[in-house]
Structure 1
Amino acid sequence: MDMVFIKNEEQQKWLDRLKPILARFAERAFELDESRGFPFENVQDLKDIGYTRLTLPKKYGGSGMGLYDFLLFQEKIAEACGPTALSIGWHVGIVLQLLEDRGWKKEVLDETFFEIGKGALINRAASEPVTGSPTRGGKPATSAKKKNDKWVISGRKTFTTMAPVLDLFLVSAWLTDENRLGWFLIHRNTPGVRIEKTWDMISMQGTGSEDLVLEHVIVDEKYLVEQPTGIEKKGEGWLLHIPACYLGIASAARNYAVAFANSYSPNSIKGPIGELPNVQRLLGEIELELLQARHFLFSVAEKWENLVEHREELMPQLAAVKNAVTNTSISVVDKAMRIVGAKSLQRTNPLQRYYRAVRAGLHNPPMDDATFTLLARYALVSSNEN
């Protein structure tokens, strides 16, 4: 199936470059889950081959690759280790996001990109205990107050993925004197910045999504990098790395189930269970679901890159992809477990890890109810226009 989606030699070269390190990721995945640790070695391996600079423009030391390329590789990384894929996906995707016009001063954007070119890792920090998901529009409790020509920022952010190794944080805060939202670029070594270890989930434990605590952190005026007006409707194509990750986990479950069906032969039947009609039915359903999900994901990604002037019209499709692919991934893992049976629940069996991992996708943005509402509104508007 890979050959259907690989479009050029550069993509194939990257997949060949990833192959040996992904084998190591897969070997480390069980211990990572059991230890509830963080994949430091995996992140370093990705740094060493230049993956953290994948979407960074070449003039800053990157490879200058696009959304489609990024998703292709993210799926393969997730096959080996879902938490590693989701973690690095935020960093690589945010680089793509920053290439859009977001109102940054050129001086600060250049500085940030040059740091990333030298190996710095970045992620946004938006979620908070009192607001829940930032996509719901809650006002952040993290505050920023102007003092002379500096900003003083205090607050706590939750779900700060890849926190153990991040160098740069994009932090949302409420500008108290101006009664509006702002985003600040904050360096890890700034006084008052600390990481508090709080991440304790049964799913995607290895993402290191700890709390970021800011205690009277002082930053220069220029690091107030974004000031949303509330009317932006650009869409976020880079967020397709989320469904790509869960699709990769589902692909890993499929691979395990196929290998098991080909090799497991209880003495109650002749030959492996893969010859049984009920098992073949489940495998056929898995293949169909994965094909549909991949074609949907990559066709929308391709349109997003090529039809720039129609991106607002594509926004519902971005949300639909996340919903469809994530829920398909859950279905695929469930079917794989049905094929393998009770063995799939053994702690040493990777299927139970995949089962827990894909459930996390339901809680990544956008949530299913928001997607259905968005699709319904676009349908109603389109109907009125016609």
Structure 2
Amino acid sequence: MKDLFIKTKRQEYWLEQLASISEPIKAEAKEVDEQSRFPFEAHKLLLQIGYPKLTLPKEYGGEGLSVYDMVLVQETLASYDENASLSLGWTLGVVGELYEKKLWTEDLLSLFAQEINNGAIINRAVSEVATGSPTRGGRPGTNAVSVEEGWLLNGRKIFTTASPVLDYFLTSAWIEEKNKIGFFLIHKDVQGLSIEENWEMSAMRGTSSHDLVLKDVIVPKSHLVELPSHPSGGKINGWILHIPATYLGIAQAARDYALHFANHHQPNSLNAPISTLPNVQQLLGDIELMLHQARFVLYGVAEAYDDPARRELITNEMAVAKHTVTNLAIEIVDKAMRVVGAKSLQLTNPLQRYYRNVRAGLHNPPMDDMTIIKLANAAIEQQKSDEINDKTIENKGK
């Protein structure tokens, strides 16, 4: 069914590139989860095919993939290894946003493009214990002070995904003298920067989202690269769709496993595989229906974002896509496990990994409660606006 969403030869090319390295990535995924370690083999293979520069615009030497393209490759990679997909997806998302919105000076964008073309990995470091998700607007405890050598930073960030392989940390900090939050570009080798390996989770164990610790770190003045007017950026950002794409990929992998199992598992009490049973067909049909629903929402929003004219009309659609896809993916994995039965809970069975990992999507931004509240407020305000407009038209007609 995913073939329905492949529209260009370039998309086919990148899916073929991923397919060419799929087997070693799939083989490593189980080990990554069991050992709670980063998927280094997948990372190496993805670097070899130029994965970090996929969303870097062509004028900067990259591949220039759109949001739609990114969703397609991210979903596919996640069906091989969800940890690799979510980890590398952050680089694709950050790079896509930086260059589309021109968040830095042109000189710095051009200089940094050389790093990306050479395989550099970057992620934002924003979450903290006291603030939780940055999308909720909390002020970071990490602080930056202007000194003669540049900026002096101290603080700690949690959930620093892909920390073992990050070359650059785009780190938020409170700047007291400016009374606002700034983002600083920090290289991994700067003195005072360290990674505290404390990622002890039951889900997405291979993302190695350890703590970033900054102790008297000094960066040049020019490395204060962003001073956003809103804590969470403010503007609509289609590049966050790499997140639901990963969870859709997990759902696809769960579906594939359950379908294969149903077509091949035949207890001696039956004369045919369990795929012939009405209750199993009900589960498999539900899975197919939800995959269709998730894909049309996700790819529809991505397509709208890539169209400049339609992008102007987007309000909460990114959040809707994330909410819809993530929750449907959880249901899909659950139903896949019902098809397989108790065997799905065996530690040798990938479904138990999918079950744990797909739930992590609930805790990636934007959160479900924020999405629902925003939708409610938007509807309330729209109704008020429509009422005022109707009265205005009515008065003009008198």
TM over 0.5: yes
| C-alpha contact (below 8 Å) 2:149/2:218 kept by paired residues | no
Equivalent residues in 2 for 1:62-211 (5 A)?
62-148=62-148, 150-211=150-211
Give the Å deviation of 1:62: 1.4
Q: Deviations over 1:27-86 (max 9, x none)?
A: 111111111111011011001011111111224331111111110010010001001000
* Worse-superposed segment, 177-186 or 245-254: 177-186
Give the Å deviation of 1:110: 1.5
| C-alpha contact (below 8 Å) 2:28/2:41 kept by paired residues | no
* Worse-superposed segment, 232-241 or 277-286: 232-241
Task: Determine if the alignment matches structure 1 residue 247 to structure 2 residue 255.
Answer: no
The SS at the match of 1:332 is helix
The SS at the match of 2:164 is helix
Give the Å deviation of 1:102: 4.8
What is the match of residue 294 of structure 1? 295
The SS at the match of 2:371 is helix
The SS at the match of 1:99 is helix
What amino acid is the match of 2:338?
A: R
What is the match of residue 311 of structure 1? 311
Give the Å deviation of 1:100: 2.9
| C-alpha contact (below 8 Å) 1:234/1:311 kept by paired residues | no
Q: Deviations over 1:109-139 (max 9, x none)?
A: 2221111111111000000111111111111
| C-alpha contact (below 8 Å) 2:55/2:65 kept by paired residues | yes
Equivalent residues in 2 for 1:225-374 (5 A)?
225-230=225-230, 233-306=234-307, 308-311=308-311, 313-374=313-374
TM-score under structure 2 length normalisation: 0.94
Structure 1 gaps, min length 5 = none
The SS at the match of 1:145 is strand
CA distance in 2, matches of 1:101, 1:18: 28
Q: Deviations over 1:322-353 (max 9, x none)?
A: 00100000000000000000000000000000
Q: Deviations over 1:255-297 (max 9, x none)?
A: 0000000000001111000000000010000000000100110
| C-alpha contact (below 8 Å) 1:108/1:223 kept by paired residues | no
Q: Deviations over 1:210-244 (max 9, x none)?
A: 11111111111111111011296321111111111
* Worse-superposed segment, 51-60 or 13-22: 51-60
CA distance in 2, matches of 1:30, 1:364: 22
What amino acid is the match of 1:252?
A: A
CA RMSD of aligned residues (A): 1.2
| C-alpha contact (below 8 Å) 1:150/1:221 kept by paired residues | yes
Structure 2 gaps, min length 5 = 387-398
CA distance in 2, matches of 1:173, 1:5: 40
CA distance in 2, matches of 1:73, 1:59: 21
| C-alpha contact (below 8 Å) 1:235/1:312 kept by paired residues | no
CA distance in 2, matches of 1:184, 1:102: 16
CA distance in 2, matches of 1:4, 1:147: 56
What is the match of residue 215 of structure 1? 215
| C-alpha contact (below 8 Å) 1:102/1:226 kept by paired residues | no
* Worse-superposed segment, 110-119 or 369-378: 110-119
CA distance in 1, matches of 2:288, 2:309: 34
| C-alpha contact (below 8 Å) 1:55/1:66 kept by paired residues | yes
| C-alpha contact (below 8 Å) 2:99/2:109 kept by paired residues | no
Give the Å deviation of 1:377: 1.2
What is the match of residue 54 of structure 2? 54
Give the Å deviation of 1:149: 5.4
CA distance in 2, matches of 1:147, 1:2: 53
TM-score under structure 1 length normalisation: 0.97
CA distance in 1, matches of 2:295, 2:57: 27
The SS at the match of 2:215 is strand
Give the Å deviation of 1:312: 5.5
Measured at CA, do residues 102 and 376 of structure 1 come closer, stay the same or move farther in structure 2, by a change above 3 Å?
farther
Identity %: 52
The SS at the match of 2:342 is helix
What amino acid is the match of 2:151?
A: W
The SS at the match of 2:153 is strand
Question: Aligned pair count?
Answer: 385
